[in-house]
Amino acid sequence: DVKVTQSSRYLVKRTGEKVFLECVQDMDHENMFWYRQDPGLGLRLIYFSYDVKMKEKGDIPEGYSVSREKKERFSLILESASTNQTSMYLCASRRGGTNTGELFFGEGSRLTVL
Q: Contact between 102 and other proteins (CB under 8 A)?
A: yes
Could you give the CA distance from residue 91 to residue 104 in angstroms, rounded to a whole number? 8
Give CA–CA dist 88/39, Å, rounded.
10
60-89 binders of other proteins (CB under 8 A): none
- Can you tell me which of 92, 93, 111, 113 binds other proteins, judged by CB under 8 A? 92
Phi-psi map region of 92: left, alpha, beta (phi>0 left; psi -120 to 50 alpha):
beta
Q: From CA 86, how far away is CA 46, in angstroms rounded?
A: 14
In this complex, which beta carbon is closest to other proteins, that of residue 71 or of residue 110?
Answer: 110
- Does the protein bind other proteins through residue 56 (CB under 8 A)? yes
Closer of 4 and 76 to other proteins (Cβ): 4
72/17 Cα distance (integer angstroms): 26
In whole angstroms, the minimum distance from the beta carbon of 2 to other proteins comes to 11
- Residues forming contacts to other proteins in the complex (CB under 8 A) are 4, 33, 35, 40-45, 48, 50, 56, 58-59, 90, 92, 98, 100-108, 110
